[in-house]
Amino acid sequence: MANQSTIVIKLGGTTGVDFSSICTNAAELLKQGQKLVFVHGGSAEANALGKALGTPPKFITSPSGYTSRYTDRKTLDVFLMAVNGKVNSLLTEQLHKLGINAFGLSGMDGKLMIATRKDAIQSVENGKRKIIHDDYTGKIKQVNVTLLEMLLDAGYLPVISPVAVSMAGEALNVDADRVAAMVASALKAETLILLTAAPGLMEKFPDETTVIKSIPQAKLAAALLMAQGRMKKKILGAGEALQGGVARVIIADGRVEKPISNALSGSGTTIQ
Amino acid sequence: MANQSTIVIKLGGTTGVDFSSICTNAAELLKQGQKLVFVHGGSAEANALGKALGTPPKFITSPSGYTSRYTDRKTLDVFLMAVNGKVNSLLTEQLHKLGINAFGLSGMDGKLMIATRKDAIQSVENGKRKIIHDDYTGKIKQVNVTLLEMLLDAGYLPVISPVAVSMAGEALNVDADRVAAMVASALKAETLILLTAAPGLMEKFPDETTVIKSIPQAKLAAALLMAQGRMKKKILGAGEALQGGVARVIIADGRVEKPISNALSGSGTTIQ
């Protein structure tokens, strides 16, 4: 298939992940003819911008105890400024400075990513259940793979922000790890690399010497139990990507030199 | 030619220009098979965001008395957030809500617009001349027309922000009226419409009853002398567009119902 050689890379936004090393490494791989797609997050930038503008982030707790961001309309506007106007624009610029013809886009552009809006969310506040209706968060249902292939064939490096469009045309905040998984699946990518501020999935978190080298798809459920915090979403995303036809997912360190090559040569946790 | 029927529309950012009317009107025209390209500004949004974040806009005065925005690196970052993350994202969303498959992009994406950076600008402060080196402002030299045609042929409505990329890969603030003129020229568009908070070029500004219906290309120099403030840039842009092969430029009112259809049916100032 045309896309078997495409690698999708998710750049984690956590402190320590070295965008500069990732971009330099990407430039080397692109020169060798490798096709790449970048996906980034931006929660930290959105939180910081929201604080600076007097709309600090809000979080909700689900009845089952999960905490997630509450994106009301004001928060969505701040989120768009942070992820599209800051993270995406600056990453695209950084790549251009290295001679890479980057193409920044959000999931709204050309309906790259259509998501269903979570229009009624249960939340627990001070022990009381509440239904929230004005949340602009979504779950991706469809990726416009024709558009992505058009950009790749034209020689561009797509740089995708975690924003999707609803069926009603609204902008929605979507999870960047899941974006990366959906994009990799749509492209039937050879490899999905999730670069983060950790060396991989650790058997005994936070002991970095306990990184698990390899997880077969059949053991993902056990790995999900082992994963802490944000790592859970990465494991979920990995499962989705494998089910979607991606050959392997690597969770690897984004804080090192040549993080992409490093992951490809066996560092981190490979799930296949 | 394939693009003779394309209309490029510049949406002025001044108070009063009705984005909602423009978008609704665009939806009607697109249904009739009309190809459109949108170009927007964002200076007012950038100024407001800069103030909110503690980096108010700075201006410089050239030795010949012209005042222009001074875009140091910090101001550029705010500018990118405002024009890419706010104006472009929200306009793209607004179009999607009307069922239009909009495609927001800046001039960095796929090198849509390459500009030369003004790397040494003379400024006069308190009567003293000064050279400014850290200004991120540019003049567009090249438009990637292949990319624009690819997006138009795929059925998208390109929505372009006033950001270009330098030869060194830097993001640059560019003038939106000139962007519209360069894009219209590159596409050999039939018509360029500059929608603004005025009914057209007025012979006796600000008397709105003195709008000039029509200006032949040969009389643009005289029109330039008549134009006040921002209108000067529109007249300059109009001249560039006509020289670039655009059939006609219309400066028309963006504050009315159906502003595009209104301009096409003879309102405003037509330059050809």
pLDDT 10s digits, B79-108: 999 999 999 999 999 999 999 999 999 999
Among left, alpha and beta (phi > 0; psi -120 to 50; other), residue B35 is beta
Distance from CA of A102 to the nearest CA of B (A): 6
Instruction: Give the best residue of A81, A160, A163, A166 to mutate against chain B (max B CB count within 10 A).
Output: A81
| Cα–Cα distance measured from residue A211 to residue A226, given in angstroms and rounded to the nearest whole number | 12
Contact partners, residue B26, CB within 8 Å, separation at least 6: B9, B36, B38, B95, B98, B100, B157, B260
User: In the prediction, which pLDDT does B16 show?
Assistant: 85
Residue type, B99: G
* Cα–Cα distances in angstroms (integers) from residue B48 to residues B51, B56, B86, in the given order: 5, 8, 12
Q: Closest-CA residue in chain A for B154?
A: A147
Q: How far is A88 from chain B (nearest CA, A)?
A: 9
Q: Is the pLDDT of residue A3 over 60?
A: no
In sequence order, the 6+-apart residues with CB closer than 8 A to the CB of B208 are B198, B199, B202
A101-140, pLDDT tens digit by residue? 999 999 999 999 999 998 788 889 888 999 998 999 999 9
- Complex-level ipTM beyond the 0.85 threshold: yes
Among candidates B83, B150, B169 on the partner chain, residue whose Cβ is nearest the Cβ of A150: B150
Is residue B165 within 8 A of residue B111, CB to CB? The reply is yes
Query: What band does B199 get if pLDDT is binned at 50, 70 and 90?
Result: very high
Which member of B97, B103, B163 has the closest CB to residue A109? B103
Residue of A81, A108, A170 lying closest to B104 (CB–CB): A108
User: How far B125 CA sits from the closest chain A CA (Å)?
Assistant: 31
Q: Provide the pLDDT for residue A63.
A: 87
Instruction: Kindly report, residue by residue over B106-128, the tens digit of the pLDDT.
Output: 999 999 999 999 878 888 988 89
Q: Work out the minimum CA distance from A156 to partner chain B, whole angstroms.
A: 6
CA-nearest residue to A107 within chain B is B103
- Residue A207's contacts (CB-CB under 8 Å, 6 or more residues apart) are none
The minimum CA-CA distance between A91 and chain B, rounded to whole Å, is 11
Percent of chain B at pLDDT > 70 equals 99
pLDDT at B145: 98
Q: Is A61 on the interface with B (CB under 8 A)?
A: no
pLDDT of A205 > 80? The answer is: yes
When scoring B109, B113, B151, B167 by the number of chain A Cβ atoms within 10 A, the one with the most, hence best to mutate, is B109
The reply to whether residue A104 touches residue B104, judged by beta carbons under 8 angstroms, is no
Query: Taking the domains of chain B in order of start, what are their residue ranges?
Result: 7-56+72-109+140-271
A86 to chain B, any CB pair closer than 8 A? The answer is yes
Among the partner-chain residues A53, A86, A146, the one whose CB lies closest to the CB of B85 is: A86
- Given B80, B89, B171, which is nearest A171 (Cβ)? B89
Q: What percent of chain A has pLDDT over 90?
A: 82
3-class state of residue A132 by DSSP: strand
List Cβ neighbours of B260 (8 Å cut-off, separation of 6 or more).
B7, B9, B22, B25, B26, B29, B193, B195
Return residues 208-267 of A near B (CB < 8 Å). Answer: none
Given B86, B103, B146, which is nearest A81 (Cβ)?
B86
Instruction: Give contacts of A82 with chain B, Cβ < 8 Å.
Output: 81, 85
Q: Is the model's pTM score more than 0.90?
A: yes
Contacts of B19 (CB under 8 A, 6+ apart): B11, B91, B94
Rounded CA-CA distance A27/A3 in Å is: 19
Q: Give the mutation candidate from A71, A73, A91, A108 for the B interface (greatest B CB count, under 10 A).
A: A108
Helix or strand or coil: residue B143?
Answer: strand
Does B103 sit within 8 Å of A110, measured CB to CB? Answer: yes
> Residues of A with CB below 8 A from B93's CB?
108, 165, 169-171
Question: Cβ contacts of residue B20 below 8 Å, gap of 6+?
Answer: B94
Which pLDDT value is given to residue A121?
86
Right CATH for B7-56+72-109+140-271 from 3.40.1160.10, 3.30.390.10, 3.40.50.2300, 3.40.50.1820: 3.40.1160.10
Q: Please tell me the class of the A7-271 domain.
A: alpha beta
Q: How confident is the model over A44-53, as a mean pLDDT?
A: 96
B8-26 per-position pLDDT tens digit = 999 988 788 999 999 999 9
How many Å from the N-terminal Cα to the C-terminal Cα in chain B? Answer: 19
